[in-house]
Amino acid sequence: MPYTFRTRTLQRVSVAFVGAGGIAADSERQRLYVAHGAQLREYNVLTGKSRAIDLDIDAQSVAVDSSTRTAFVADPDTNAVHALGLK
């Protein structure tokens, strides 16, 4: 099933099992972010490379602000949102 995001049509495909967690897309930088436990995984859609960013919390969801290159992850244990620089 295709999705439309900022005039682009995206098709959902499985690249790997990521388990429960949130997903956010940064269409300007062509990155996909997946919150998975105590890690935030960043996938570069253009190159296929990825990196894991260790977190001090058990993140359940993520949102990305591409203009400031900041990810916001939610901590369900404290009901807090933490900002994380993505530079």
Segment 24-78, tens digit of pLDDT: 999 888 999 999 889 999 999 889 899 999 999 988 889 999 999 999 999 888 8
- d(C-alpha 87, C-alpha 75), whole Å: 22
- What residues pair up with 83 in beta bridges, in sequence order? 72
CB 70 within 8 A of CB 85: yes
Q: Which pTM was predicted?
A: 0.74
To which residue do tokens 């404290």 refer? 78
Longest dimension (CA), the chain: 36
61 DSSP assignment: E
63 DSSP assignment: E
Domain positions in the chain are: 28-67
Question: Looking at 17-21, 42-46, 83-87, which range is the least confident one?
Answer: 17-21
